[in-house]
């Protein structure tokens, strides 16, 4: 690295007079003396003519400038160190004047990219054309236009390569399964595993979005009655829809009116759920999945919500995929 030039502070020493050649006369010359240093005082022009008005106005202007500078320095506010009380007051003011999103809104924003619509299609029994015996005795249809929607439900992505959890009863008996992701992308899907004792099915989507986000799962070990939750899904095909409530109870049992196997160790909740919510996630206020919505209780024949819903704990659901992250 280059070093800066160094400069000496010493002044050059005066050169001595050069003596003349031997035998010659020495000539002495007198150099003109340096002008005398001017001492501090009034300008010489004023000393010569003190009554000159220009000089008087220059002095007045200088004094006025000094006066203005003095006042500006005196009026400058003195900086004050912020205290904790100042910070608390500012935060409180912000909270009072700024509308923050609700906890349910924040939870939904976290889970929204992972929720999918699940549709099951089957052959229209009223159409007798094109049917023939298929593999394993199952009827197939050579006319793809003969497929009609048999059921609709919800699902949640738990692995970002397109693995989806839903209810078994949503896709059971379907000849073709389709899923629609949060960005609108639609894909067919295959059932890769089932867990009948928990009414669960695991789907693999055949096509997925480039930026697919998997949901975060949370253990139910510390879940308590009264904890706030949301249910996200497609009730009656409308959605995605969000309903909010609380955990009403734990370790519940339920047997459907159709007489399916009794489901046990369920989470009871009171967030509104209706047909179409099946297979959707039950989510905490942190946006983490604690269960898969699977059933609603209604003593009448109406399949509508009256305040009691059930979800399979996520530990059981994750085991259907071979995962147990807790």
Is 29 a catalytic site residue?
A: no
Is 278 a catalytic site residue?
A: yes
CA angle 8, 11, 17 (to 5 degrees): 140
Structure tokens at 306: 């009256």
Catalytic residue among 141, 146, 199, 270: 199
Question: Which one, of 161, 108, 105, 101, lies nearest residue 280 by Cα?
Answer: 108
Structure tokens at 316: 């059981």
Catalytic residue among 114, 141, 154, 169: 169
The span from the CA of 267 to the CA of 226, in Å, is 12
The span from the CA of 275 to the CA of 205, in Å, is 23
CA 142, distance to chain mean position in Å, is 47
The span from the CA of 38 to the CA of 97, in Å, is 69
The span from the CA of 218 to the CA of 286, in Å, is 10
| Cβ atoms < 10 Å from Cβ of 298 | 15
The span from the CA of 217 to the CA of 290, in Å, is 6
Is 123 a catalytic site residue?
A: no
Catalytic residue among 154, 187, 241, 278: 278
**Which are the catalytic amino acids?**
169, 199, 278
């Amino acid at each position: 690295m280059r070093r800066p030039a160094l400069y000496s502070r010493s002044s050059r020493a005066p050169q001595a007079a050069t003596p003349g050649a031997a035998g010659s006369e020495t000539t002495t010359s007198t150099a003109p003396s340096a002008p005398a240093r001017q001492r501090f005082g009034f300008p010489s022009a004023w000393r010569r003519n003190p009554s000159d008005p220009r000089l008087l106005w220059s002095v007045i202007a200088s004094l006025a400038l000094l006066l203005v500078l003095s006042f500006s320095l005196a009026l400058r506010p003195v900086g004050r160190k912020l205290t904790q009380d100042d910070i608390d007051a500012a935060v409180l003011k912000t909270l009072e004047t700024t509308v923050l999103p609700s906890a349910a809104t924040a939870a939904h924003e976290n889970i929204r990219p992972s929720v999918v619509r699940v549709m099951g299609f089957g052959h229209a029994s009223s159409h007798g054309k094109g049917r023939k015996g298929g593999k394993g005795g199952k009827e197939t249809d050579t006319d793809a236009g003969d497929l009609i929607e048999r059921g609709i439900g919800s699902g949640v992505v738990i692995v970002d390569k397109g693995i989806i959890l839903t209810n078994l009863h949503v896709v059971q008996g379907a000849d073709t399964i389709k899923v629609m992701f949060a960005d609108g992308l639609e894909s067919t899907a295959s059932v890769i595993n089932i867990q009948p004792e928990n009414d669960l099915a695991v789907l693999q989507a055949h096509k997925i979005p480039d930026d697919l986000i998997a949901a975060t799962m949370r253990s139910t070990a510390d879940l308590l009655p009264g904890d706030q939750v949301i249910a996200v899904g497609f009730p009656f095909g409308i959605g995605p829809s969000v309903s909010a409530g609380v955990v009403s109870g734990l370790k519940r049992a339920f047997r459907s009116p159709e007489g399916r196997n009794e489901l046990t160790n369920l989470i009871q909740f009171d967030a509104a759920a209706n047909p179409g919510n099946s297979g959707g996630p039950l989510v905490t206020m942190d946006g983490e999945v604690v269960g898969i919505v699977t059933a609603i209780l209604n003593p009448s024949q109406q399949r509508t919500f009256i305040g009691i819903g059930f979800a399979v704990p996520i530990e059981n659901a994750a085991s259907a995929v071979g995962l147990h992250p807790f």
